[in-house]
Structure 1
C-alpha cells in the first residue's frame, strides 16, 4: 500500500522569523542556532538544519481534533525552506531516528500505535494502514516525543 509523508507548510511560521526575541518569548517561542549536524529536525523541510542555521522552536498543535488525543508539542522550523511531500519514502530527518507512529481514525481518536527505526518504518506504516478504520498517521520522534510529520494513504 502506498503512503505519503507530508511536512508542515512554511507560511504559518514565516512571520516568526521577523519577530525579535522578546516578541517570540511572548508567544512561548525561541530563536535557536543549530550547533550540530543532527538534533535540529525542521518540520517544513523534514531534514536536519546544518550547523549555523537559524531555527525557531515553537509549540505547535499537531492534533487539533476535539478528542482526548488533542495535542501540541515543540517543533523546529527553518526559514526559507520548501514543504516536502514524499510517496513511499521516509524523509531524511525521520529516516535517521526512532519513530513512534500513532494511528488515528477519521474522528481523531487514536486506534493504534507502535515504534520503528525510521529507515524501516515503511513496513509498519503499511501494516497500520491495513486497518480500514485508520484515516491517517502521525509520526513522532520517539526519544523527545515531538511531532515529526503526517502520513496518509497515497
Structure 2
C-alpha cells in the first residue's frame, strides 16, 4: 500500500486575523465564532474540533488554487489557540475517523479524477488505495455533511 501524509494548513496564514476587530474581520468576509456544541467546528490548523466556548475565526479560504476549472474556495474554521497538527505517516485526525468524508482525487493539472464519500473507519485504507493510482497527484478531504474543505493528503516521502 502507498503511504500518505495529511497536511494541515499553516497557522501563520491566519495569524493576522486574530488581532482584527469585528469590523476588520467583516471586511475580509470573516467573523469571530464561539462554538455552542462540541462537534461541528473543526479547525484546519489543528485538525480537531474546537471546544465549547473556544474562540475561532470563520473565514473564506482558497483551498484549491490551480489553473483548472476545479479551483475552489470555501469557509473554514481556525482556532485562535490551536496548535499545528503533527500527524504521523498514515495517521488521520481522530475526528475524521468518526465522520463521513468526501475524498476528491486530483491529477497534477488540478483536474478531479475521482470523488467519493467514505466512512471514517475505511478512510485510511481508501487514501492508500487512491494514492497508488499513478495519475492521482494529491487528495483533498472535505466534511461530507457541509462539504467544507478539511485538509490535503499527499504520498508520504517516508518508507
Show CA shifts across 1:110-141 (max 9, x none).
Answer: 11111111232011112211210111000000
Match for residue 124 of structure 1?
A: 126
Residue 83 of structure 1: CA displacement?
Answer: 1.7
Q: Map Cα deviations across residues 10-60 of structure 1 (whole Å, 9 max, x no partner).
A: 001011010000111111001000111111000000000001100000000
Please report how far the alpha carbon of residue 95 of structure 1 lies from its aligned counterpart in structure 2 after TM superposition.
2.0
Deviates more, 1:143-152 or 1:84-93: 84-93
In structure 2, the partner of 1:66 is 67
How does the TM-score come out when normalised to structure 2?
0.93
SS for the counterpart of 1:68 is coil
Q: Measure, in 2, the Cα distance between the counterparts of 1:15 and 1:125.
A: 33
1:83-122 maps to which residues of 2 (within 5 A)?
A: 83-86=84-87, 87-122=89-124
**Distance in 1 separating the partners of 2:3 and 2:54:** 34
Query: Which residue in 2 is equivalent to 1:41?
Result: 42
Q: Contact 2:43 / 2:82 at 8 angstroms: preserved in 1?
A: no
More strand by share: 1
Q: Between Structure 1 and Structure 2, how many residues are aligned?
A: 154
1:7 and 1:46 in contact (8 A); partners too = yes
TM-score normalised by structure 1 residue count: 0.96
Give, in whole Å, the separation in 1 of the partners of 2:49 and 2:62.
Answer: 21
CA distance in 2, matches of 1:93, 1:18: 28
| Structure 2 unaligned spans of 5+ | none
In structure 1, how many angstroms separate the alpha carbons of the residues matched to 2:56 and 2:75? 12
